[in-house]
Amino acid sequence: MLGTQQAGPLQLHTGAFGTAKDHYEVLVLGGGAGGITMATRMKRRVGAENVAIVEPSERHFYQPIWTLVGAGAKELSSSERSTMSVIPSGVQWIQDRVAELNPDKNCIRTDTGKEISYRYLIIALGIQLDYEKIKGLPEGFAYPKIGSNYSVKTVEKTWKALQDFKEGNALFTFPNTPVKCAGAPQKIMYLSEAYFRKTGKRPKANVIFSTALGTIFGVKKYADALQEIIRERNVSVNYKHNLVEVRADKQEAVFEILDKPGEKHVIQYEMLHVTPPMSAPDVLKRSPVADSAGWVDVDKETLQHKKYPNVFGIGDCTNLPTSKTAAAVAAQSGILDRTISLIMKNRRPIKKYDGYTSCPLVTGYNRVILAEFDYTAQPLETFPFDQSKERISMYLMKADMMPFLYWNMMLRLLGRTSLLAKAVSSGHALKMAQSLLLLDGFWTKIAVTN
Give the end of a domain, one of 225, 243, 277.
Answer: 277
Shared-domain flag, residues 239 and 314? no
Shared-domain flag, residues 89 and 146? no
**pLDDT tens-digit readout, 235-270:** 999 999 999 999 999 999 999 999 999 999 999 999
Q: What percentage of residues in the chain have a pLDDT greater than 90?
A: 82
Shared-domain flag, residues 137 and 261? yes
Q: What value does the mean pLDDT take over residues 341-354?
A: 93
Shared-domain flag, residues 266 and 285? no
User: Angle at CA 227, nearest 5°, toward 222 and 228?
Assistant: 100
Q: What pLDDT does residue 442 have?
A: 55
Known catalytic residue at 359: yes
Residue type, 57: S
Phi-psi region of 44 (alpha: psi -120 to 50; beta: other; left: phi over 0): alpha
Shared-domain flag, residues 77 and 216? no
Q: What value does the mean pLDDT take over residues 296-316?
A: 98
Catalytic pick among 289, 359, 368, 377: 359
Number of compact structural domains in the chain: 2
Using an 8 Å Cβ cutoff, are 208 and 236 in contact?
yes
Q: Which of 228-232, 330-334, 397-401 has the highest mean pLDDT?
A: 228-232
Distances (CA, A) of 16 to 19, 20, 74, 134, 218: 9, 9, 50, 43, 45
Give the end of a domain, one of 228, 250, 277.
Answer: 277
What is the SS3 string spanning the chain?
A: CCCCCCCCCCCCCCCCCCCCCEEEEEEEECCCHHHHHHHHHHHHHHCHHHEEEECCCCEEECHHHHHHHHCCCCCHHHHEEEHHHHCCCCCEEECCCEEEEECCCCEEEECCCCEEEEEEEEECCCCEECHHHCECCCHHHHCCCEECCCCCCCHHHHHHHHHHCCCEEEEEEECCCCCECCCHHHHHHHHHHHHHHHCCCHHHEEEEEEECCCCCCCCHHHHHHHHHHHHHCCCEEECCEEEEEEECCCCEEEEEECCCCCCEEEEECCEEECCCCEECCHHHHCCCCECCCCCECECCCCCEECCCCCEEECHHHECCCCCECHHHHHHHHHHHHHHHHHHHCCCCCCCCCCCCEEEEEEEECCEEEEEEECCCCCECCCCCCCCCCCEHHHHHHHHHHHHHHHHHHHCCCCCHHHHHHHHHHCCCHHHHHHHHHHCHHHHHHHCCCC
Q: What pLDDT does residue 306 have?
A: 97
Shared-domain flag, residues 12 and 107? yes
Q: At 445, is the pLDDT very low, low, confident or very high (cuts 50, 70, 90)?
A: low
Q: What value does the mean pLDDT take over residues 23-38?
A: 97
Q: What is the CATH number of the domain that holds 21?
A: 3.50.50.60
Beta bridge partners of 257: 241
Shared-domain flag, residues 353 and 431? yes
Catalytic pick among 134, 181, 335, 380: 181
Shared-domain flag, residues 257 and 142? yes
Q: Which residues have C-beta within 8 Å of that of residue 323, sequence separation ≥ 6?
A: 181, 182, 218, 357, 359
Q: What pLDDT does residue 6 have?
A: 39
Range of the domain at 208: 129-277
**pLDDT tens-digit readout, 146-188:** 999 999 999 999 999 999 999 999 999 999 999 999 999 999 9
Q: What pLDDT does residue 72 have?
A: 98
Shared-domain flag, residues 316 and 418? yes
Known catalytic residue at 181: yes
pTM of the predicted model over 0.85 = yes
Q: At 446, is the pLDDT very low, low, confident or very high (cuts 50, 70, 90)?
A: low
Shared-domain flag, residues 341 and 259? no
Give the end of a domain, one of 224, 248, 277.
Answer: 277
Q: What value does the mean pLDDT take over residues 344-369?
A: 94
Chain-wide mean pLDDT for the chain? Answer: 89
Shared-domain flag, residues 293 and 327? yes
Shared-domain flag, residues 101 and 222? no
| CA neighbor of 28 nearest in space, from 112, 115, 99, 94 | 94
